[in-house]
Amino acid sequence: MKKVFLLFIFSIAGCAIFSQDAADIVKKADDLMQGVTSQSEMEMTIIRPTWQRSITFKNWGKGREHSMTLITAPPKESGQSFLKLKNDMWSWNPTINRMIKFPPSMMSQGWMGSDYTNDDILKESSLVLDYNHK
């Protein structure tokens, strides 16, 4: 009797798993990978035909809509930070002691001299939003 009952419970659980919508499955996986909050420390090396440089930075994020990046090296850019709130982006430059909001005209410019644009930072790609799931 116990075996029949357990088999019944497992079959109901299996039906619940297989009856999920594909978009729900991808969203759950994306939520687990993205996390509620994130923290990282990275180094980016920019290589051009005539020059090369590395930038080290720390990054904190809350979901996809809030993030902050702090440049830690090289010393010339150290202390510069970037704040992303939904579709707006600001930069703090300690050299001039000023906060600057990025206008739409700056969105296509490279971030810190890289091929990664300011618009890439604001409009992160999303497996959930960018595709139709079946």
Residue 14's pLDDT is: 55
Confidence band (pLDDT; 50, 70, 90) for 18? low
Domain edges within the chain = 2-31, 35-122
Residue 55 pLDDT exceeds 70:
yes
Residue 57's pLDDT is: 93
Q: Quick one: DSSP state of residue 134?
A: -
Radius of gyration of the chain (CA): 22
Question: Which uninterrupted H or E stretch holds 13?
Answer: helix 2-18
In the three-class reduction of DSSP (H, G, I as helix; E, B as strand; rest coil), residue 14 is classed as: helix
Residue 80's pLDDT is: 94
Residue 10's pLDDT is: 58
CATH assignment of 35-122, given 3.90.1150.10, 3.90.480.20, 2.50.20.10, 3.40.50.300? 2.50.20.10
Alpha carbon distance 73, 28 (integer Å): 36
More confident residue, 116 or 80: 80
Residue 29 pLDDT exceeds 90:
no
Residue 6 pLDDT exceeds 60:
no
Residues 6+ apart with CB under 8 A from 34: 63, 64
In the three-class reduction of DSSP (H, G, I as helix; E, B as strand; rest coil), residue 34 is classed as: helix
